[in-house]
Amino acid sequence: MKGCVFDLDGVITDTAKFHFAAWSQLAKEKLNLELPASFETELKGVSRIDSLNRILEFGGVKTDYTTEQVQAMAAEKNGYYLKAIEKLTRDDILPGINDLIAQLKEHQILMALASASKNAPAILEKLGLMNAFDAIADPAKVAHGKPAPDIFLAGAAAINLDPSECVGVEDAVAGVQSIKDAGMVAVAVGDAHELAKADKVVPTTADFSYDLFEKTYEQAHK
């Protein structure tokens, strides 16, 4: 293992709740639609436009809006979201992540971020982690969002590594698929049954460690 390519939401910090609150606000104000709490999983790890398309499909109104209107609504949702994450601080880094970053650095493991969020740099700044990562893959420059492998491939390329030399870290089904299709070893956090395609699943980020990643990588390459 020479590199680690991380998702952001649910792995480094939990901003999913802010995303869903922003989508719920937009759905209510613009579409007169109440999103059930269970719908949050539908939007996990999915790009902004794809998320909005899923909401429009859920409301049965996908054909009612032009591409321009969809773009405008997505931008409006982002405004709600940015306002919500203003309050993020170092205290919002998930358990075990600071220790993991220190361990990876100690072993000269390169780190890249592969998030579907265009707000990733702003979030890292607020968490005080901007200098922890060697590169951030730009989701605006990849052709396809997760579950396609594009963003993880871009993450590996950004740290000049072959995907086979990297471990990808995720918390979403779409993200794990993305990692596997990129040709990386996948470590996931969350429900073991739901994330069964990953090479290793742990219940919480506090279980992450360099040793866990390295062992998982070695076993996958046997």
Residues annotated catalytic, as ranges: 7, 9
Q: Check: CB of residue 187 under 8 Å from CB of residue 213.
A: yes
The pair of structure tokens assigned to 64 is 């009612």
Q: Is the peptide bond before 149 cis (omega within 30 degrees of 0)?
A: no
The candidate with the shortest Cα–Cα distance to 98, out of 212, 206, 171, 14, is: 206
> What does the buried/exposed string (b/e) look like for 36-48 if buried means 16 or more CB atoms within 10 Å of the residue's CB?
eeebbebbbbbbb
Q: Tell me which residue has tokens 């009612």.
A: 64
Terminal Cα-to-Cα distance of the chain (whole angstroms): 13
- Please give the order of strands across the beta sheet that includes 3-6: 135-136, 110-113, 3-6, 166-170, 185-189, 200-202
